[in-house]
Amino acid sequence: MLPLILAQSSSGSDGSSALSSLISIIVYLASSFFCWKIYEKCGVENAWFAWIPILGTYANFQAGDEENPLLWTILACIPCINIIAIVKLIIAWVVICRKLEKSPWLLLLMPCFSVLILGYLAYG
Protein backbone atom coordinates (compact mmCIF):
# COMPACT_ATOMS: atom_id res chain seq x y z
CA MET A 1 0.00 0.00 0.00
CA LEU A 2 2.81 2.41 0.84
CA PRO A 3 4.43 2.19 -2.63
CA LEU A 4 1.04 2.93 -4.21
CA ILE A 5 0.59 5.99 -2.03
CA LEU A 6 4.04 7.33 -2.82
CA ALA A 7 3.71 6.63 -6.57
CA GLN A 8 0.55 8.67 -7.00
CA SER A 9 0.91 11.68 -9.23
CA SER A 10 -0.31 15.01 -7.97
CA SER A 11 -2.33 17.14 -10.34
CA GLY A 12 -2.56 20.19 -8.09
CA SER A 13 0.07 22.46 -6.68
CA ASP A 14 -1.68 22.84 -3.34
CA GLY A 15 -0.76 20.89 -0.26
CA SER A 16 -3.88 18.71 -0.27
CA SER A 17 -2.15 15.81 -2.03
CA ALA A 18 0.78 16.01 0.37
CA LEU A 19 -1.62 16.09 3.30
CA SER A 20 -3.59 13.10 2.02
CA SER A 21 -0.34 11.19 1.48
CA LEU A 22 0.77 12.02 5.02
CA ILE A 23 -2.58 10.88 6.45
CA SER A 24 -2.38 7.65 4.43
CA ILE A 25 1.11 6.93 5.74
CA ILE A 26 0.00 7.59 9.33
CA VAL A 27 -3.00 5.25 8.90
CA TYR A 28 -0.72 2.57 7.41
CA LEU A 29 1.78 2.85 10.27
CA ALA A 30 -0.97 2.77 12.93
CA SER A 31 -2.66 -0.24 11.29
CA SER A 32 0.64 -2.10 11.02
CA PHE A 33 1.47 -1.36 14.65
CA PHE A 34 -1.91 -2.59 15.89
CA CYS A 35 -1.71 -5.73 13.72
CA TRP A 36 1.77 -6.38 15.11
CA LYS A 37 0.39 -6.23 18.66
CA ILE A 38 -2.57 -8.46 17.70
CA TYR A 39 -0.25 -11.05 16.16
CA GLU A 40 1.93 -11.01 19.29
CA LYS A 41 -1.17 -11.67 21.44
CA CYS A 42 -2.16 -14.55 19.15
CA GLY A 43 1.28 -16.13 19.46
CA VAL A 44 2.54 -15.62 15.91
CA GLU A 45 6.26 -16.35 15.85
CA ASN A 46 7.18 -13.53 13.44
CA ALA A 47 4.71 -10.84 14.45
CA TRP A 48 6.89 -8.19 12.81
CA PHE A 49 5.59 -9.46 9.45
CA ALA A 50 2.69 -7.05 10.03
CA TRP A 51 4.91 -4.21 8.78
CA ILE A 52 5.39 -5.80 5.33
CA PRO A 53 2.20 -6.04 3.21
CA ILE A 54 2.33 -9.58 1.78
CA LEU A 55 4.04 -11.01 4.85
CA GLY A 56 1.33 -9.35 6.93
CA THR A 57 -1.24 -11.44 5.08
CA TYR A 58 0.80 -14.54 5.87
CA ALA A 59 0.96 -13.59 9.56
CA ASN A 60 -2.78 -12.96 9.52
CA PHE A 61 -3.44 -16.47 8.25
CA GLN A 62 -1.05 -17.82 10.91
CA ALA A 63 -2.84 -15.92 13.67
CA GLY A 64 -6.15 -17.24 12.35
CA ASP A 65 -4.90 -20.84 12.64
CA GLU A 66 -5.21 -21.64 8.93
CA GLU A 67 -3.70 -25.00 8.02
CA ASN A 68 -1.58 -23.74 5.11
CA PRO A 69 -0.95 -19.99 5.47
CA LEU A 70 1.67 -19.90 2.70
CA LEU A 71 -0.75 -21.34 0.15
CA TRP A 72 -3.50 -18.88 1.09
CA THR A 73 -1.06 -15.96 0.96
CA ILE A 74 -0.02 -16.95 -2.57
CA LEU A 75 -3.65 -17.43 -3.62
CA ALA A 76 -4.48 -13.96 -2.24
CA CYS A 77 -2.13 -12.48 -4.86
CA ILE A 78 -3.74 -14.20 -7.87
CA PRO A 79 -6.59 -12.32 -9.55
CA CYS A 80 -10.06 -13.95 -9.43
CA ILE A 81 -8.80 -16.70 -7.11
CA ASN A 82 -8.16 -14.08 -4.45
CA ILE A 83 -11.91 -13.87 -3.83
CA ILE A 84 -11.73 -17.28 -2.14
CA ALA A 85 -8.63 -16.18 -0.21
CA ILE A 86 -10.47 -13.06 0.98
CA VAL A 87 -13.24 -15.24 2.39
CA LYS A 88 -10.58 -17.32 4.19
CA LEU A 89 -9.02 -14.09 5.45
CA ILE A 90 -12.36 -12.98 6.90
CA ILE A 91 -12.67 -16.39 8.58
CA ALA A 92 -9.13 -15.93 9.95
CA TRP A 93 -10.15 -12.55 11.42
CA VAL A 94 -13.18 -14.18 13.07
CA VAL A 95 -10.84 -16.74 14.67
CA ILE A 96 -8.53 -13.93 15.80
CA CYS A 97 -11.47 -12.09 17.40
CA ARG A 98 -12.47 -15.24 19.24
CA LYS A 99 -8.88 -15.82 20.42
CA LEU A 100 -8.84 -12.29 21.83
CA GLU A 101 -12.27 -12.86 23.39
CA LYS A 102 -13.87 -10.05 21.35
CA SER A 103 -17.07 -10.14 19.34
CA PRO A 104 -16.55 -11.08 15.67
CA TRP A 105 -19.39 -8.68 14.85
CA LEU A 106 -16.83 -5.87 15.21
CA LEU A 107 -15.50 -6.90 11.83
CA LEU A 108 -18.59 -5.42 10.21
CA LEU A 109 -17.29 -1.98 11.21
CA MET A 110 -13.84 -2.55 9.66
CA PRO A 111 -14.52 -0.78 6.32
CA CYS A 112 -15.24 2.52 8.09
CA PHE A 113 -13.31 2.30 11.36
CA SER A 114 -10.44 -0.10 10.64
CA VAL A 115 -7.76 1.67 12.70
CA LEU A 116 -10.09 2.05 15.68
CA ILE A 117 -11.18 -1.59 15.54
CA LEU A 118 -7.58 -2.79 15.23
CA GLY A 119 -6.63 -0.61 18.19
CA TYR A 120 -9.47 -2.06 20.24
CA LEU A 121 -8.43 -5.61 19.33
CA ALA A 122 -4.80 -4.84 20.18
CA TYR A 123 -5.37 -3.07 23.49
CA GLY A 124 -9.02 -3.58 24.47
With cut-offs at 50, 70 and 90, classify the pLDDT of residue 15: confident
Which pairs from 99-106 meet CB under 8 Å and 24+ separation? 99/41, 99/42, 99/63, 100/38, 100/41, 100/42
For residue 122, give the nearest of 88, 105, 97 by alpha carbon.
Answer: 97
- Report DSSP state, residue 48: G
Alpha helix locations (H) across 42-123? 53-63, 69-75, 82-99, 110-123
Please tell me the distance from the alpha carbon of residue 79 to that of residue 58, in angstroms, as a whole number: 17
* pLDDT for 2 beyond 90: no
Q: What is the pLDDT of residue 14?
A: 65
Q: What is the pLDDT of residue 7?
A: 58
Q: What is the pLDDT of residue 80?
A: 94
- pLDDT tens per residue, range 67-118: 999 999 999 999 999 999 999 999 999 999 999 999 999 999 999 999 999 9
